[in-house]
Amino acid sequence: PHLFLTNTTSRPRRDLAPKLARMGIVAGADAILTPPVAAARWLREQVSGPIALFVPDATREEFDGLPVVDPEYADHPAAVVIGDLGRRWNFDLLNQAFRLLMVEPRPHLVALGLTRYWRAPDGLRLDAGPYIKALEYAAGMSAVVMGKPAAPFFAAAHALLGTVAGDTWMIGDDIRTDIEAAQRAGLRTILVQSGKYLPQDLALGIAPDAALPTIAALPAWWGEHR
């Protein structure tokens, strides 16, 4: 059994499945776990009241059925949800989120992952993590994290798989968000040395159980070591 984990918050699962298919990987939407899906489940169970979303428009459908309000007109939200808005982030938008977090009683700050950056065609780009850290610092509060590297996100994954942490492997290209975080959650890890991987990552004192040049090397490695 396997599951695809992603901190992508810019598009819903129904858009991610065709992207995988174009790479030759067949996966239905139910085989993909994203932070918005995990966050919506948590909000339904833990929060009562309006929710202000700072997420891409395409991702809002994952929150259908929840009492979502426009951040511009929200007075006392019960939760403020932060995703990856990319170039839409500016001072006014970040300040708007900050002001909502300062309203009493304080709302929950819900982070759709804490990824620091990702690799785009034109080079590295900041992800949602730096903006969430700025809001935590300014508002004097800690975010409830729903994506990698939060341990509950990995726990949700192997719960869906019906496995236990020690028998579950995390395979990824981010030495901290994928490998270190999964190890802290009790999973075994394989680092793929492509994507956002940098050679200096292996000098950080984080040792994956295995390292592969690309994901294409996984089937042969798995067949030999399983």
Q: pLDDT tens track of the chain, all 226 residues? A: 899 998 887 788 888 999 889 988 888 888 999 999 889 888 988 899 999 999 988 889 889 999 999 888 888 999 999 998 988 999 999 999 999 999 999 999 999 988 888 888 888 889 888 999 999 999 999 999 988 888 888 888 888 889 999 999 999 999 998 999 999 999 999 999 998 888 888 889 999 999 999 989 999 999 998 7
Q: What is the pLDDT of residue 221?
A: 96
Q: What is the pLDDT of residue 156?
A: 81
Element at 133 (helix H, strand E)? helix 129-139
Report which residue type is found at 71. P
Give dist(CA 186, CA 226) in Å, integer: 18
Determine contact, residues 8/38, Cβ cutoff 8 Å.
no
What is the rounded end-to-end Cα distance, in angstroms, of the chain? 13
Q: What is the pLDDT of residue 41?
A: 83
* Degrees to nearest 5, angle at CA 119 with 145 and 4: 55
